């Protein structure tokens, strides 16, 4: 455990709405170890993206962390000043988003934006930064890197923009890279390129990656360890092979069964009934109970704790 | 499946849609985007024809053309012996009783200012098929059919979740008892567990109502699940079309092969190196000469740079547009690209 | 078939709450919106019940009591709470009666402009092509002419009266609505729900009235409220310049104009109608801003 880079304990996040506070992350605990790739899987409304925004300290104005601890190495992130957080974000934790267009500034060239970070953090000269920038673009597999430095974000395709984002994120050698649905907006063939790129990065550097996704395919391609989230909670945690071979929580099982398989066609897909509950109106007891095929009356009474069944496999269910 | 072989319900011949994106007033720069560039295919009664492809391949434009929501630049779309491409607005309105659509985004495809009752009842009202109590009765039956409750009639779309909204969209499409439904990325915006619900619902409805689907999507697993035959588009052209299993197990076009290979498989034991195809999809305003795929194709030869390959039926019911289609020796395995040459 | 029962689990989440009730709840939470609403309601009530609020005839001159200061100043009288003007007319009752004309002009000119602008904007945006060209070039031309000058010329030619004033104010300000409605129509026209209306075979008239109009209405209402404010100010300016409301009618702008000469000696003659205009306009603007927040579904989500 002393190998952990990021340690999140009992994280709770709420949003202020006109009908009062709505809590979308309800006590999430996990850690990211040095050099590992952790995947957080969940559907919309699971709180996976909010968790990552909370870690980065970039929640929307009406959101706040109201309980829990976030430790990055020896720093307590909840007690950082804005300035300290900014420095941490630039140098130690980097983030890439689903739609890189919104994260790149449309009025500056790629080169300008890349150089700016390098000059700011490493006090490089402009020439050094230019050279390093080109090098970074080449690392992420951009052909004609020198030309691309002079382009504006809108002149690049979605896949290229995502590569640029990755280059920018990596330019300061972060210890942790948070990737929020990094391939969701991309075409399949481009997605394969980006996934391969991320996998290679992981092998070459010892950057830890935290990937947030709804796609179990992406998880299977990249992750070492997986956390499954549902309705703002962790419902299962396991190493990748263990999770796919022996999923315990009925939600995890259902999620896996409801994906159409490309090499194994069935007539009718398994489907999880119902929809994710509204955070303003959560069921008491187990939050998955209204959709659960195996739950019974007991499940409405107890809110199940996250229990470890083995050293590294945990589930939040009293029935399995 | 109740696919009636040989009973063609729609036929597309030499279909083209070019958008004039020329800019400038004094010095005009001529830009023509060839969104759809010469399509030929048939749709059989009762089947689900999947159309897949990446962004810019023209699959959505094809859907709009088939619905008469866009005017074709060239070519014909025969639907029940009438050419949609040549119809007047009034004729089109009538044809729409048999030809419906389900859109991708259940958040933007429902008028936010109308209640479920108005949304689902509108097609019947517009065509003068029902009104008053009868309309209400039919609406409640439609809602039941797609798994919604009668008492939800007075609610507005924003009061529903994504999956439920898609059900409303399906009920609206079913109201006229159409023969053909174009599903334009109908499950792409939905969460996995909801996607499964909707796919199952679509399959059930097809059986019960004898529907023909044209299922346009970029998500290959969903297309494979629901389709009987699948067409693969690239840069405005159909590059391959075959029965579902045939296409997935023995793809003949290198692009199809690469596309299938790129899909991440949700099983870590099958983790592998993807046979990446290099580069990006070219812009449809400036397509490469010859075969549109040749700049990215690992087997491109000199001929591919010059001649556009003909789209032909190379095996029974298996169409492909490639000069050097992949040959499979082993019938049960995906052709190994390295072996082919 | 078991999956078909899906939505039941989610039933309880939908709270059947009337939109009016929701609107009221939102209003209570916005302080400026509340202030705006109170001011606007007060001014409207004042206009309607003017005769009940004051016994003084706003047009009655009384040379003996001319330029009396407000009652709390030396020489003031409780009979004329806010003093009198140069002809001895009661400032307070003139403000109360003046609200009638100011509101009447503000609201009817906006309704007129809104109707013209909405219709032309929808046509230009939906049908495009030659319709768009003709309507939008007309809009551009009207925008190119200095507004006040244009109004002054027309008023000078036709002769100032309440009706011409409304016609002129409404007839020149529709361009704002036409532009806004057109650009909104252009974007809504491309939405999937409009395509879905075409796909079920709906006719143009239905698409425009059921799909486009309701969806531009919220932006429209916001602009219209703010426009009531500008129109009240414009009326004041025109009256101030002598081509607006003519005596014996009274409007706040006219009072400002009358009080201009006495501003150094008898400040109250111009100041109180000025305050009335400012407070009313502010109230309307607050209300408009609040409406924008409430009616815009983008902000709501």
| B71 in contact with C, Cβ within 8 Å | no
Residue that the structure tokens 């500034």 belong to: A105
B159 interfaces chain C, CB cutoff of 8 Å: yes
C12 and A271: CB-CB below 8 Å?
Answer: no
- 13-72 in chain C: CB under 8 A from chain A: 13, 25-26, 29
What token pair was written down for A296?
């019974």
> Is the model's pLDDT at C14 over the cut of 70?
no
Farthest-apart Cα atoms in chain A, separation = 68
Mean of pLDDT over chain B: 87
Residues of C in contact with B69 (CB under 8 A): 195, 198-199
Distances in Å between the Cα of C234 and the Cα atoms of C116, C240, C243, C273 are 19, 10, 11, 14
DSSP string, C199-244: HTT--HHHIIIIIIHHHHHHHHHHHHHHHHHHHHHHHHHHHHTTSS
Answer yes or no: is pLDDT of C183 > 90.
yes
Full residue range of the structural domain in which residue B259 is found: 248-340
Asked if A198 and A209 touch (Cβ cutoff 8 Å), the reply is yes
Contacts of C191 in chain B (CB under 8 A): 108-109
pLDDT at B39 over 80: yes
CB contact under 8 A, A290 and C5: no
Residue B194 lies in a domain: no
Is residue B285 situated within a structural domain? Answer: yes
**Does B104 lie at the interface with C, CB-CB under 8 angstroms?**
yes
What is the C-alpha separation between B217 and B148, in angstroms, rounded?
25
Kindly state whether residue B321 falls inside one of the protein's structural domains: yes
Beta strand pairing call for A176-180 and A75-76: unpaired
Beta carbons of B267 and A220 less than 8 Å apart = yes
CB contact under 8 A, C6 and A275: yes
The most distant pair of C-alpha atoms in chain B lies apart, rounded to whole Å, by 68
**Chains in contact with chain A (at least 3 beta-carbon pairs closer than 8 A):** B, C
Confidence check: pLDDT of B239 > 70: yes
pLDDT of residue C16: 42
* B69 vs C7, C10, C195: nearest CB: C195
Contacts of A279 in chain B (CB under 8 A): none
The answer to whether position B258 is within a domain reads yes
Does residue B116 belong to any structural domain of this protein?
Answer: no
Taking all residues of chain C, what is their mean pLDDT, rounded to a whole number?
A: 81
Average pLDDT, chain A: 88
267-286 in chain A: CB under 8 A from chain C: 271, 273-275, 277-278, 280-281
* C228 Cα to chain B: minimum distance (Å): 26
Q: Do A254 and B221 count as a contact with CB atoms less than 8 A apart? A: no
**Residue spans of alpha helices (H) in A74-141:** 82-91, 100-103, 110-122, 126-139
Residues of A in contact with C26 (CB under 8 A): 18
Percent of chain A with pLDDT over 90: 39
Please check the confidence at residue B338 and state whether its pLDDT lies above 60.
no
| pLDDT tens per residue across span C248-294 | 788 888 888 888 788 888 888 888 888 988 899 889 888 888 887 77
Number of domains in chain B: 1
CB spacing of C195 vs B109 below 8 angstroms: yes
Give domain status of residue B197, yes or no.
Answer: no
Q: How confident is the model at residue C20 (pLDDT cuts 50, 70, 90)?
A: low
Tell whether B63 is covered by a domain. Answer: no
C145: pLDDT confidence band, cut at 50, 70 and 90? confident
pLDDT digit string, tens, across residues A100-155: 777 788 889 999 998 988 888 788 899 999 999 998 898 888 888 888 999 998 88
Q: What is the mean pLDDT of residues B88-117?
A: 89
Q: Which chains touch B (3 or more CB pairs under 8 A)?
A: A, C
The H or E element that residue A307 is part of is: strand A307-308
Q: Say if residue C6's pLDDT is above 50.
A: no
- Structural domains in chain C, sorted by start: 38-300 (1.10.3720.10)
**What is the share, in percent, of chain C residues with pLDDT greater than 90?**
21
B263-287 per-position pLDDT tens digit = 888 888 888 787 778 888 888 888 8
CA distance C24 to chain B (A): 19
Contact B126 C206 (CB under 8 A): yes
Pick the closest to residue C242 from C154, C150, C156, C147 (CA basis). Answer: C156
What pLDDT is attached to residue A237? 95
Amino acid C234: pLDDT = 86
CB pair distance less than 8 Å for B108 and C193: yes
What's the confidence (pLDDT) of residue B3?
Answer: 52
**Closest C-alpha among A164, A182, A153 to residue A49:** A182
User: Which residues, in sequence order, are CB contacts of A267 under 8 Å at separation 6+?
Assistant: B203
Cα–Cα separations (whole angstroms), residue A11 to A14, B179, B338: 10, 52, 50
Helices assigned H by DSSP within C128-161: 129-144, 147-158
Q: How far apart are CA B168 and CA C155, in angstroms?
A: 55
Counting beta carbons within 10 angstroms of the beta carbon of residue B272, is it exposed (0 to 12), middle (13 to 18) or buried (19 or more)? exposed
In a mutational test of the C interface, the residue from A15, A17, A18, A280 whose CB has the highest number of chain C CBs within 10 Å is A18
Query: Residue B25's pLDDT is what?
Result: 64
In this predicted structure, the answer to whether residue B15 has a pLDDT above a threshold of 90 is yes
Judge whether residue B225 has pLDDT over 50. Answer: yes
Q: Which long-range contacts (CB under 8 A, 24 or more apart) does B18-25 make?
A: B18/B73, B21/B285
What is the C-alpha separation between B292 and B285, in angstroms, rounded? 12
- Span B143-169, mean pLDDT? 89
Q: Does B195 touch chain C (CB under 8 A)?
A: no
Least confident among B99-113, B322-336, C277-291: B322-336
pLDDT at B45: 93
Burial C253-272 (b: 16+ CB within 10 A, else e): bbbbbbbeebeeebebbbbb
CB contacts of A278 in chain C (<8 Å) are 10, 13
8 Å CB contact between B202 and B146: no
Interface test with B, best of A258, A267, A281 (most B CBs within 10 A): A258
Query: In this prediction, what percent of chain B has a pLDDT beyond 70?
Result: 93
Residue C300, pLDDT > 70, answer no
Question: Using the beta-carbon criterion (under 8 Å), do A44 and B162 form an inter-chain contact?
Answer: yes
Query: Has residue B1 got a pLDDT over 50?
Result: no
Q: Give A163 or C30, the one with higher predicted confidence.
A: A163
- Residues C81-140: pLDDT tens digits? 777 877 778 888 888 888 888 888 888 999 999 999 999 999 999 998 899 999 999 999
Sheet containing A20-33, strands listed edge to edge, beginning at the edge strand earlier in sequence:
A20-33, A4-17, A63-72, A75-76
CA distance C34 to C24: 10
Which whole number is the average pLDDT over B301-328?
88
- Say if CB C175 and CB C97 are below 8 A apart: no
Q: What is the pTM of this model?
A: 0.82
Q: Is residue B324 part of a domain?
A: yes
**pLDDT over 60 at A1, yes or no:** no
Q: How far is A108 from chain C (nearest CA, A)?
A: 28
Residue among C5, C6, C11 with most chain A CBs within 10 A, to mutate: C6
Q: How many residues does chain A have?
A: 320
Given a cut of 80, whether residue C76 has pLDDT beyond it is: no
Over residues C45-72, the pLDDT tens digits come to: 988 888 887 777 777 777 777 777 777 8
Q: CA B258 to CA B276: how far, in whole Å? A: 7
Q: What is the pLDDT of residue B213?
A: 96
CB C241 within 8 A of CB C260: no
The better pLDDT of the pair A168, A2 is held by A168
Cα–Cα distance, B22 to B10 (Å, whole number):
33
Question: What is the pLDDT, as a whole number, of residue A157?
Answer: 82
Q: How far is A158 from chain B (nearest CA, A)?
A: 10
DSSP state, residue A2: T
Are B129 and B151 in contact by the 8 Å Cβ rule? The answer is: no
- To the nearest whole angstrom, how far is the Cα of C3 from the nearest Cα of chain B? 7
Full set of structural domains in chain A with CATH: 4-92+174-315 (3.40.50.300)
Res B48 pLDDT > 90 = yes
Q: What is the ipTM of this complex?
A: 0.84
Residue C296 has a pLDDT of 60
- At residue B296, φ and ψ (nearest 5 deg) are -110, -5
Does the pLDDT of residue B6 top 50, yes or no? yes
N- to C-terminal Cα separation, chain C: 34
Would the CB atoms of C203 and B126 count as touching at under 8 Å?
Answer: yes
- In the stretch 193-252 of chain C, residues with CB closer than 8 A to chain B read 193, 195-203, 206, 210-211, 214-215
The pLDDT of residue B5 is 59
């Amino acid at each position: 455990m002393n190998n952990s880079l990021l340690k999140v304990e009992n994280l709770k996040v709420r949003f202020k709405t006109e009908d009062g506070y709505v809590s979308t992350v309800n006590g999430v605990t996990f850690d990211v170890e040095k050099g590992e790739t952790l995947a957080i899987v969940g559907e919309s409304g699971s709180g996976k993206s909010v968790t990552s925004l909370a870690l980065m300290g970039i929640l929307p104005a009406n959101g706040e962390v109201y309980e829990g601890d976030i430790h990055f190495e020896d720093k307590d992130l909840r007690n950082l000043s804005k300035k300290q957080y900014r420095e941490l974000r630039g140098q130690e934790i980097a983030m890439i988003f689903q739609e890189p267009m919104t994260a790149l500034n449309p009025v500056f060239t790629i080169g300008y934006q890349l150089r700016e970070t390098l000059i700011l953090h490493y006090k490089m000269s402009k020439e050094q930064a230019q050279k390093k920038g080109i090098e970074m673009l080449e690392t992420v597999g951009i052909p004609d890197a020198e030309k691309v430095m002079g382009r504006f974000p809108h002149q690049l395709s979605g896949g290229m923009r995502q590569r640029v984002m990755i280059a920018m994120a990596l330019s300061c050698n972060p210890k942790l890279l948070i990737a929020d649905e990094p391939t969701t907006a991309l075409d399949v063939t481009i997605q394969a390129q980006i996934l391969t790129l991320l996998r290679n990065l992981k092998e070459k550097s010892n950057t830890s990656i935290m990937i947030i996704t709804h796609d179990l395919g992406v998880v299977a391609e990249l992750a070492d360890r997986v956390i499954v989230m549902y309705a703002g909670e962790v419902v299962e945690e396991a190493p990748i092979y263990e999770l796919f071979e022996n999923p315990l929580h009925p939600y995890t099982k259902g999620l896996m069964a409801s994906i159409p398989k490309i090499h194994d066609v069935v007539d009718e897909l398994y489907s999880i009934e119902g929809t994710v509950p509204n955070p303003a109106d959560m069921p008491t007891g187990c939050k998955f109970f209204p959709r659960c095929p195996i739950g019974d009356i007991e499940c409405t009474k107890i809110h199940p704790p996250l229990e470890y069944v083995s050293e590294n496999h945990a589930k939040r269910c009293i029935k399995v | 499946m109740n696919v009636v072989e040989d009973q063609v319900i729609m036929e597309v011949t030499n279909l083209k849609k070019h958008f004039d994106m020329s800019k400038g007033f004094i010095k005009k720069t001529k830009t023509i985007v060839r969104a759809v560039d010469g399509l030929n295919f048939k749709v059989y009664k009762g089947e689900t024809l999947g159309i897949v492809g990446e962004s810019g391949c023209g699959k959505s434009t094809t859907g709009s053309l088939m619905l008469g929501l866009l005017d074709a630049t060239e070519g014909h779309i025969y639907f029940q012996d009438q050419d949609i491409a040549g119809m007047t607005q009034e004729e089109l309105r009538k044809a729409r009783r048999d030809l419906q659509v389900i859109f991708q985004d259940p958040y933007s495809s429902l008028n936010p200012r109308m209640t479920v009752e108005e949304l689902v009842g509108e097609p019947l009202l517009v065509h003068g098929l029902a009104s008053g109590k009868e309309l209400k009765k039919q609406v409640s039956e439609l809602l039941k059919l797609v798994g919604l409750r009668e008492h939800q009639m007075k609610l507005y779309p924003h009061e529903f979740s994504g999956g439920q909204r898609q059900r409303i969209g399906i009920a609206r499409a079913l109201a006229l008892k159409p023969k053909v439904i174009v599903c334009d990325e109908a499950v792409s915006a939905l969460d996995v567990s909801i996607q499964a619900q909707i796919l199952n619902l679509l399959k059930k409805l097809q059986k019960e109502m004898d529907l023909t689907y044209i299922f346009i999507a970029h998500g290959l697993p969903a297309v494979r699940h629901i389709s009987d035959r699948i067409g693969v588009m690239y840069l405005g052209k159909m590059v391959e079309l075959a029965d579902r299993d045939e296409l997935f197990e023995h793809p003949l076009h290198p692009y199809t092969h690469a596309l299938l290979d790129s899909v991440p498989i949700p099983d870590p034991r099958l983790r592998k190196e993807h046979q990446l195809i290099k580069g990006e999809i070219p812009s449809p305003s400036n397509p490469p000469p010859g075969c549109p795929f040749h700049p990215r194709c690992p087997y491109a030869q000199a001929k591919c740079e010059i001649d556009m390959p003909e789209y032909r039926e190379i095996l029974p019911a298996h169409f492909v547009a490639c000069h050097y289609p992949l040959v499979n020796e082993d019938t049960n395995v995906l052709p190994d690209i390295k072996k082919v040459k | 078939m078991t999956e078909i029962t899906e939505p039941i689990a989610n039933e309880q989440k939908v709270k059947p709450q009337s939109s009016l009730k929701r609107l009221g709840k939102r209003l209570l939470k916005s302080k400026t919106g509340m202030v705006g609403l109170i001011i606007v309601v007060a001014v409207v009530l004042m206009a309607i019940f003017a005769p009940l609020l004051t016994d003084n005839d706003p047009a009655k001159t009384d040379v003996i009591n001319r330029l009396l200061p407000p009652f709390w100043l030396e020489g003031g009288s409780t009979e004329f709470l806010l003093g009198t003007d140069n002809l001895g007319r009661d400032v307070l009752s003139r403000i109360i009666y003046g609200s009638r004309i100011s509101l009447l002009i503000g609201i009817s000119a906006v309704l007129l402009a809104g109707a013209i602008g909405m219709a032309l904007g929808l046509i230009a945006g939906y049908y495009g092509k030659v319709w768009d060209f003709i309507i939008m070039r007309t809009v551009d031309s009207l925008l190119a002419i200095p507004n006040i000058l244009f109004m002054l010329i027309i008023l000078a030619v036709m002769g100032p009266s309440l009706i011409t004033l409304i016609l002129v104010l409404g007839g020149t300000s529709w361009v704002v609505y036409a532009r806004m409605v057109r650009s909104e129509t252009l974007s809504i026209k491309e939405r999937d729900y409009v395509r879905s209306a075409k796909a079920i075979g709906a006719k143009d008239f239905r698409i425009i009235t059921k799909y486009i109009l309701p969806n531009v209405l919220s932006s429209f209402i916001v602009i219209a409220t703010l426009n009531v404010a500008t129109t009240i100010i414009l009326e004041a300016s025109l009256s101030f310049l002598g081509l607006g409301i003519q005596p014996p009618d009274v409007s706040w702008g006219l009072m400002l104009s009358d009080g201009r000469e006495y501003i150094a000696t008898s400040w109250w003659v111009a100041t109180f109608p000025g305050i009335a205009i400012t407070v009313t306009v502010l109230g309307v603007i607050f209300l408009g801003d609040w409406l924008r927040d409430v009616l815009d579904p983008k902000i709501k989500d």
